[in-house]
A and B are shown apart, each in its own frame.
Chain A
């Protein structure tokens, strides 16, 4: 059974804290993605990575950074959390372009207070 696992389902952090969201996939996918999901806005791409140590900005990268030191792990970092980063964060992975399904983690609901 294929799996994308996010380290936390729920997180509560204080404004200004550094926050790490971790994602691990066991499918040997080259590509990994971080999206945030907000009501009425759907999924917006924050960052993605197409190989180890490679990353590209998505549509809303401001306030975020990422790390991909190993193929199976993709971390999203909030350097200094702010209340407008309260959201649901979804990690996904897929093989390289073509008709390949993107597999999603269960999501991390982050609340910044």
Chain B
């Protein structure tokens, strides 16, 4: 079945690294995505990883994929107050047009 799970809250100090975790259940996932939602806005794509990759780095963002454990993580280095938002993990299944989203992790960055 399709299910994507995330913890709901994360609080970090400005300048520290944030790690947001996600687990998924469907092994036919082809792409996995991280979306960011700022207050009062829609979702914006942050980054994605293809299911045959282990890691992807993009400036301050590092995505790690453990396909055996169906575990995805997003690491934000040097977290800033502007990173405060809700982060959604999503998977795209082979042969399907829709994306399956997790519940979202609210990241709070404090001084």
Residues of chain A at the chain B interface (Cβ within 8 Å): 4, 30-31, 33, 35, 40-45, 48, 50, 58, 90, 92, 94, 96-99, 101-102, 104-107
Contacts and interface: CB of A to CB of B under 8 A. Distances in A.
B97 A50 contact: yes
B24 interface: no
A100 to B, nearest CB: 8
Contacts of B111: none
A96 to B, nearest CB: 6
B45 to A, nearest CB: 5
B98 A42 contact: no
Given A42-B88, A99-B50, A48 B97 contact: yes
Contact of B41 (A31, A42, A106): A106
Contacts of B98: 31, 33, 45, 48, 58
21 contacts: A30-B97, A31-B98, A35-B101, A42-B6, A42-B104, A43-B104, A45-B98, A48-B98, A50-B97, A90-B43, A92-B99, A94-B97, A96-B97, A97-B92, A97-B94, A97-B95, A97-B96, A97-B97, A99-B48, A99-B50, A102-B90
Nearest to A104: B42
Interface residues of B, number: 29
Contacts of A90: 42-43
Given A43-B88, A97-B97, A105 B103 contact: no
A50 B48 CA distance: 22
Central interface residue in B6, B8, B40, B103, by most chain A CB within 10 Å: B103
Interface of B: 4, 6, 8, 30-31, 33, 35, 40-45, 48, 50, 88, 90, 92, 94-104
Contacts of A98: 30-31
A11 to B, nearest CB: 15
